[in-house]
Structure 1
């Protein structure tokens, strides 16, 4: 909208570009505001880092979540600040790409922004900081790849994978049983094919018993599905059965409500009814003719089909979850069919033993001793739902770590050791450059120390004393000192490689790259414009509010009588 003015006023015309009510903030205060918002998120997750980290309880209406997983916590927080949402994105990307290190990536990104805050306040341009951070990131990643320990194809490789899984579980709620679960996780990953698709590792949660009652099923296990009358008459165990996997509904369907059929005699109606029964019986007979003994379908199997199979000594289950059906196809060699025509032996699966067992208060179907098993199921036990939920998140992280270790074939020491080594390396690199970049890269080196510092603080140690000792070790002893970090279990500085605290190099590379990119993205924003709602949106919102009561029901229209056409 351009305002109209007289000739006298045209010397200094006023042009209105943005709608009235638009919020606009820019310049140095805006960058500082974004950094402060991100720092608030960091303060929430900071105390969860490490084996001695604390848990967070997040309450949303009726659901309660207790966790120390960074990605889980940040996703459950209802973050509305646009810049702070960047930290949510990097936590998600770290969880999807690597599975572990979600707290570290948020913590490191926040510290990078904190270090840049003083540069901004002193008048340094954000572009200079961004350039320095990216240069430091490149040097750090190269250094990680240079000093990482390569996993050879030898007998000790499996032990290294177990140590990586244990390192991931160190900070989890099931850390007391890390040896028990690390063996289970490595065994589960070894069962997978070369692509290491995590979706073929199922995790089932069964309340009751101890967590040590958890076990791995080399095959598929899933909870007994909804069943009709006649199900209990079916046999619950087969040896070497043929398995038919269907994506087909096996029950009588009622006609659509809007269907219209004109009949001349009652006999015509009976023919239609008989045709429906004929169709379902033809399907069932074709399934039996194929020699299948276990029939599973993603869609419902009705009471007629259930009783039909029970009378012939066969087992059936409908409404099988899609994930479990795909794992069954992978393990048994079967192919999911959408028709009962052409059920030959090559599309039917088989397994060594099928059995239905009681687990706690539930009944589970087990498919084991499959030839060429390429999928597995971890059955988690525990006394409380919250405990089992957190144990599942912990195992997910451990599985992801082992997968990455198998693919990367290289590990580094944890406990803040690699961060201290990178900090030392960058400080030495500073001597070869000059200008503002020297200050920025020095800030990057300081930010790296936030990981060992926070580990020490969360375990009750003196963080200043710990950092001084680690700097001394990394400077004096170039060979052995490279892997010195914070041993939070024993409260000391130690060689974390000899303590078997290992993690894939990809975890640290992803932490540094993702955190740096997030920090650079936030620093590159110098103006935030928030558009107001348009008049139409405001009217629609007001209309919805007026037309709906607090209980979500339409408000009765008050004060309106009913009139006839000629009424007054």
Structure 2
């Protein structure tokens, strides 16, 4: 709103009901949102982190300490807080782990920036200093990283990722399964984790989880007369329906004689019969169809001794193709013996009261299934998230072949290097670089707090230990500083690289905002997610 000269006439620029926050108010409000969000997930960090119980509008419960899951499940309204949720999502997509670390570093960067803004340092200078610090941090990270990609290192990386996520008692067997799965799908040094399917079922202990050299599909045979198990399976993959097609255009068939009607029905039956004969002639004894299978076709397939499964997901069809070597056929007329895939065993098994199809004993499959078990639904869901994170970090390590010591060792090393770097910079950016260094120390500090240790004492001990070795981190189980590389607490370099980079960029972007204009929308009351009066974040939950 503005006034023209001395006439006192108002000019409306923004519609009525629009919320606007300017300058320091906007900055303080956004910083507060970031800090509150970081505090929310902070208690979940590390092996002794706590869990959150999230209840949605329908009463469904999620119990987890996985940062990105917590942030996705929370109903977050605040625009600046949503930007930090994006940091966690990017971290999850790129690496698979380190989501909580990324968010708490971003929150701490905003907290430190607030102190600098109170000293009348311009936000642009803080953002510039943060950018310089982030670049330098990546250089230091390259220096302190260790080259390693042997199986033992991959196992340690997997176990580190799963510690504190409800999988402790079965860490070692699960790590073995995960490393074997990642190694199996590796092609030309590249690993696509989408080719590792995680199938979960409750009703058994974690130790009963298994790696299937093939694909597990949550479906059943279409006809009870079909064989339940087939040895030496010849597998056909079809992405068209086995049924009489409707005509493409509107058509009318006039039948004037009952005999014609019978001939018409017989002709339809013969078309179905020909389709089944085609599958049988190709030599297939197992059929996976992406679409429907007609009731009559089911009968003929059962008579021919062919096990058939219908309405299989497209993603599962692709995995079956990679696992068995079968080609996906669109037109049933084109099906030949060369299109078939092979599996040592295809069987329908009952798991927790539900039928599932196990395609096993495939020869050098490029798609495998981790069959995860747990005692209850909530337990198996959390184990699945832990396994998913571990797959991501093992794949990152196998690709980059570089790791860093865990337990806060990497963050302390980078912070130490940044403090030395800050002394070489003239101008106010020096303060921003030093603040960035202090912000990174939030990781070991939080690990100590979550383990019930004194965070200040732990930090002082860590700094002193780093004068001798860059691998010294905080062992939260023993409550002491020790060489984390020797202790087997190892993380991929990519986790740290991505977390620092995305946290720094998100903090920079939030700091450069000096005006928040929130439209009320058509006929709605303006909702700033608790932004009025800088009220913080309660409406997030």
TM-score by length of 2: 0.92
Give yes or no for the alignment of 1:35 onto 2:39.
no
Map 1:415-430 → 2, pairs under 5 A: 415-430=407-422
How big is the shift at 1:174?
0.4
Give yes or no for the alignment of 1:490 onto 2:478.
yes
- Partner of 2:153 in structure 1? 160
How big is the shift at 1:270?
3.9
Q: 1:24 aligns with which of 20, 26, 30?
A: 20
CA distance in structure 2 between the partners assigned to 1:382 and 1:2 by the alignment: 63
Segment of structure 1 superposing worse, 15-24 or 403-412: 15-24
Give yes or no for the alignment of 1:90 onto 2:87.
yes
How big is the shift at 1:196?
1.3
CA distance in structure 2 between the partners assigned to 1:50 and 1:407 by the alignment: 25
Q: 1:352 aligns with which of 329, 344, 351?
A: 344
How big is the shift at 1:266?
4.0
- Partner of 2:127 in structure 1? 130
Map 1:324-403 → 2, pairs under 5 A: 324-403=316-395
Q: 1:185 aligns with which of 178, 181, 192?
A: 178
Tell me the alpha carbon deviations over residues 255-313 of structure 1, each in whole angstroms, 9 at most, x when there is no partner: 99986544444444444433322221221111111111111111122332222122222
Give yes or no for the alignment of 1:52 onto 2:55.
no
Unaligned runs of 5+ in 2: 526-541
CA distance in structure 2 between the partners assigned to 1:2 and 1:417 by the alignment: 55
Unaligned runs of 5+ in 1: 539-568
CA distance in structure 2 between the partners assigned to 1:20 and 1:351 by the alignment: 67
How big is the shift at 1:428?
1.2
CA distance in structure 1 between the partners assigned to 2:248 and 2:135 by the alignment: 64
How big is the shift at 1:490?
1.1
Q: Is the CA contact (8 Å cut-off) linking 1:219 and 1:369 kept in structure 2?
A: yes
Q: 1:220 aligns with which of 179, 191, 215?
A: 215
Instruction: State the structure with more CA Rg.
Output: 1
Tell me the alpha carbon deviations over residues 356-403 of structure 1, each in whole angstroms, 9 at most, x when there is no partner: 333332333222222221111111112100000000000000000000
CA distance in structure 2 between the partners assigned to 1:224 and 1:21 by the alignment: 53
Q: Is the CA contact (8 Å cut-off) linking 2:44 and 2:50 kept in structure 1?
A: yes
- Partner of 1:530 in structure 2? 518
Q: Is the CA contact (8 Å cut-off) linking 2:220 and 2:355 kept in structure 1?
A: no
- Partner of 1:564 in structure 2? none
How big is the shift at 1:13?
5.9
Segment of structure 1 superposing worse, 272-281 or 87-96: 272-281
Give SS of 1:472's match.
helix
CA distance in structure 2 between the partners assigned to 1:470 and 1:2 by the alignment: 57
CA distance in structure 1 between the partners assigned to 2:224 and 2:336 by the alignment: 28
Task: Identify the structure with bigger relative contact order (alpha carbons < 8 Å, sequence gap 6+).
Answer: 2
Change beyond 3 A, Cα 1:355–1:21 = closer
CA distance in structure 1 between the partners assigned to 2:8 and 2:145 by the alignment: 66
Give SS of 1:129's match.
helix
- Partner of 1:316 in structure 2? 308
Q: Is the CA contact (8 Å cut-off) linking 2:221 and 2:348 kept in structure 1?
A: no
Give SS of 2:54's match.
strand
Q: Is the CA contact (8 Å cut-off) linking 1:28 and 1:121 kept in structure 2?
A: no
- Partner of 2:206 in structure 1? 211
Give SS of 2:486's match.
coil
Aligned residues: 522
Q: Is the CA contact (8 Å cut-off) linking 2:44 and 2:66 kept in structure 1?
A: yes
Tell me the alpha carbon deviations over residues 140-172 of structure 1, each in whole angstroms, 9 at most, x when there is no partner: 1011111210126xxxx1100001001101121
How big is the shift at 1:122?
2.1
How big is the shift at 1:11?
6.1
CA distance in structure 1 between the partners assigned to 2:142 and 2:186 by the alignment: 27
Q: 2:167 aligns with which of 163, 167, 174?
A: 174
Tell me the alpha carbon deviations over residues 56-110 of structure 1, each in whole angstroms, 9 at most, x when there is no partner: 0000123110000000000000100011100110100000000000000000000
RMSD: 2.2
- Partner of 2:441 in structure 1? 449
TM-score by length of 1: 0.88
How big is the shift at 1:226?
6.2
CA distance in structure 2 between the partners assigned to 1:341 and 1:388 by the alignment: 43
Segment of structure 1 superposing worse, 438-447 or 193-202: 193-202
Segment of structure 1 superposing worse, 13-22 or 424-433: 13-22
CA distance in structure 1 between the partners assigned to 2:498 and 2:522 by the alignment: 42
Segment of structure 1 superposing worse, 375-384 or 251-260: 251-260
Q: Is the CA contact (8 Å cut-off) linking 2:161 and 2:389 kept in structure 1?
A: yes
Give yes or no for the alignment of 1:69 onto 2:66.
yes
Q: Is the CA contact (8 Å cut-off) linking 1:251 and 1:305 kept in structure 2?
A: yes
Give SS of 1:240's match.
strand
How big is the shift at 1:26?
0.7
Give SS of 1:18's match.
coil
Q: Is the CA contact (8 Å cut-off) linking 2:273 and 2:300 kept in structure 1?
A: no
How big is the shift at 1:411?
0.4
- Partner of 2:77 in structure 1? 80
- Partner of 1:411 in structure 2? 403
Segment of structure 1 superposing worse, 384-393 or 142-151: 142-151
Give yes or no for the alignment of 1:148 onto 2:140.
no
Change beyond 3 A, Cα 1:11–1:221 = closer
CA distance in structure 2 between the partners assigned to 1:100 and 1:534 by the alignment: 40
Q: Is the CA contact (8 Å cut-off) linking 1:225 and 1:319 kept in structure 2?
A: no
